[in-house]
A and B are shown apart, each in its own frame.
Chain A
Amino acid sequence: MSEAISTPVNAPINSPIKVDVWSDIACPWCFIGKRKFEAGAEQFGGEVEVEYHSFELSPDTPVDFDGSEQDYLVTRGFPADRIDGMLDRVTGIAESVGLHYDYDALQHTNTVLAHQLIHYAKARGRQLEMKERLLAAYFEQGRHVGRVDDLADLAVELGFDRDDVVRSLSANEYLDAVRADQDLAIEYGIQGVPFFVIDGKYGVSGAQDASTFANVLTQVRDEKAAVA
């Protein structure tokens, strides 16, 4: 199930353009890329259907890491004297698209349960809300997004039934769906995220400028119109 993010006004085509997006929660460029894509879709002006797909950048990350983002990066071998500057630059770019990253509060964690929660919401037609909520919780609000109880808290904020969310996550109800997304990413040859597959035939990698997304969407619309 995918969800429309914009409604066309006198759209020249009857069907929306499908955009499949592979991304992770713990991915700074995925949230920034999401904003840029949304801006591009707005510029495009036509109807777009977006479906997010799971991609785990670091599946061996522990659920609970006792330390800051800086501490975590040091454990991974990143030069300590470069970390603050790097995070400052990412934070600045996020600000440029209206996002307020807070690396001091960020809680590094494993994201496989968060991906399952996105699938849970998707099955109920609310995937986009959950994706946005989890990204904001992780990067802007310092919320933990790796544990069942914390994820259930976030789900309740969106109006989901807590007991049912806990049941689903505890049973790994959507783990197969997460793995299916990852298998599809492998089929496409996707190695980095965010990655956008537009109309099933064009690939756009990374946090591109909004105009790039608008141009690709326009190209696809024109091609559809020419065929019709």
Chain B
Amino acid sequence: MSEKLEILGDIDAETCEGEFCELPAHREQAVMNRRVDEDRI
């Protein structure tokens, strides 16, 4: 994260990153990250 910003709030709040979206339930992967898919190729 940029040093320009001071990060506030819950760092575990739900976000989407790539094709990966975190779920609050069990913190499991909601959508597989593209990188995982690429690793299989």
Contact = CB atoms under 8 A, between A and B. Distances in A.
A174 interface: no
Contacts of B14: 29, 32-33, 93, 206-207
Contacts of A58: 18-19, 34
Chief secondary structure at chain A's binding surface: mixed
Nearest to B13: A206
Contacts, number: 109
Contact of B30 (A90, A195, A207): A90
Interface residues of A, number: 42
A76 B30 CA distance: 11
Interface stretch (A115-123, A160-168, A197-205): A197-205
A29 B2 contact: no
A30 B4 CA distance: 23
A209 interface: yes
Contact of A27 (B4, B8, B13, B16): B16
B37 A28 contact: no
Interface stretch (A45-53, A130-138, A145-153, A186-194): A186-194
Contacts of A192: 15-17
21 contacts: A24-B16, A27-B16, A29-B14, A30-B16, A32-B14, A33-B14, A57-B18, A57-B19, A58-B19, A60-B34, A76-B31, A78-B32, A201-B4, A203-B5, A206-B12, A208-B9, A208-B13, A212-B9, A212-B10, A212-B13, A219-B8
Given A29-B16, A57-B16, A93-B14, 17 more contacts: A24-B16, A27-B16, A28-B21, A33-B14, A58-B18, A73-B31, A86-B28, A86-B30, A189-B5, A192-B17, A193-B17, A194-B15, A201-B6, A202-B6, A206-B15, A212-B13, A216-B8
Interface of B: 1-2, 4-19, 21, 23-25, 28-32, 34, 36-37, 40
